[in-house]
Structure 1
Amino acid sequence: MKLIFEMFISFFKIGAFTIGGGYAMLPLIQREVVKNKKWIKEEDFLDMVVVAQSAPGPLAVNISVFTGYKVKGIPGLISTVLGATLPSFMIIILVASVFIGIESNPIVESIFKGIRPAVVALIAVPVIKLGKSAKVNRKNFILPAAVAVLVAFLKVNPIYVILSLMVIGVVVVVARRGNNGSTH
């Protein structure tokens, strides 16, 4: 029970002090669950992020689901999801009750304009870290760059890109197994 409460508190802190949503939460989640608490191994965390991005729903919630379940099963899942989502829910209720009527205030507009660059930086950090963890280098940079161009500039739906790459991955693995089987 102590671990379940600790998991709730960890994800509650992450949810309460992260502006910018899922990608901005990644470095905090990674530091907490991999480095500080050692609940998840680094390579397992990278796999969780990949699956969480592919699954429907918010990234941070998906990662909290996988972390909670891996560490403590269904009770862990419930505690991490509540921890990750409760602060946002409370903040949205509070902001909505105060924000109505002041959204066009120049000071409020300036505050939001000031927050935007910080959010961009918070999103860039996990992208760079994930690139290093995934061992993206000059040699294998072509695929991530091609995907970025397809999605960002050619406006190809990311779902089609993911599905296509899944099919290609399966074909490559099956082909490799077929070649390995014929050499024995």
Structure 2
Amino acid sequence: MEKKHKILLKLFISTFYLSAFTFGGGYVIVTLMKKKFVDQYHWIEEEEMLDLVAIAQSAPGAIAVNGAIVVGYKLAGIAGTITAVIATILPPFLVISVISIFYEAFRDNQVVSLVLEGMQAGVAAVIASVVWEMAAGILLEKKWLSILIMAGALIAASCLGINAVVIILVCIAVGLLKTFMPGRKGDPS
């Protein structure tokens, strides 16, 4: 029981910290969660983290909250889920509450506007890093079906302009077919 309380406290502090200092949306927090829970704490394996991220991306809602749900549940069940979700939503809630109080002063402030514009470049770099790391993992494992799916999704989104929802649904269907295909002896991809 004592060990679970320590894990929950560490989970709360970690997810609170990540959420408080993550600017740019959910994809940024995914990279930081990987560094914290896979690389630093070794609570989750890298491949399992990729699976958790895929689940978080596929579920409706904010990816940061979805990521907290799946990581929290993996680490400590329902208590972990509740802990991680509260820790994830608390910093943005507090920041938005403070900003709403001072909205009139921030709205037309040139300095605030320039700071936010500069943060956009940093966010783009972090998102590019996430994509690079996830793609590199798939390429290094040489899972050819996964590489083909990744390339197809990239082409469909960037060149053909196909809606992301359609791409996600097609990828889910391919993943289900791959998983439940009868007569499969091992993973050929």
Deviates further, 141-150 or 6-15 = 141-150
Residues 170 and 114 of structure 1, relative CA distance in 2, 3 Å threshold: closer
1:65 positional shift: 0.7
Question: Greater relative contact order (Cα 8 A, min sep 6): structure 1 or 2?
Answer: 1
For the 8 Å contact 2:138–2:147, the answer to whether it is kept is: no
Residue aligning to 1:113: 117
Residue aligning to 2:165: 159
TM-score relative to the length of structure 2: 0.84
5+ residue gaps, structure 1: none
Residue aligning to 1:150: 156
Residue aligning to 2:34: 30
Residue aligning to 2:73: 69
Residue 27 (structure 2) pairs with residue 45 (structure 1): no
How many residues are aligned here?
179
TM-score relative to the length of structure 1: 0.86
5+ residue gaps, structure 2: none
SS in 1 for 2:139: coil
Residue aligning to 1:122: 126
RMSD (Å) for aligned C-alpha atoms: 2.2
Residue aligning to 2:174: 168
Residues 95 and 131 of structure 1, relative CA distance in 2, 3 Å threshold: same
Residue aligning to 1:94: 98
For the 8 Å contact 1:151–1:158, the answer to whether it is kept is: yes
Q: Deviations over 1:79-104 (max 9, x none)?
A: 11111111111111112212324312
Residue aligning to 2:15: 11
Identity over aligned residues, as a percent?
32
For the 8 Å contact 1:46–1:134, the answer to whether it is kept is: no
Distance in 2, matches of 1:30 and 1:49, equals 9
For the 8 Å contact 1:46–1:133, the answer to whether it is kept is: no
Q: Deviations over 1:106-163 (max 9, x none)?
A: 22221111111011011111111111222377x7655323322322343322222222
Deviates further, 89-98 or 162-171 = 162-171
Residue 60 (structure 2) pairs with residue 56 (structure 1): yes
For the 8 Å contact 1:68–1:80, the answer to whether it is kept is: yes
Residues 170 and 4 of structure 1, relative CA distance in 2, 3 Å threshold: closer
Whichever residue aligns with residue 123 of structure 1, its letter is: I
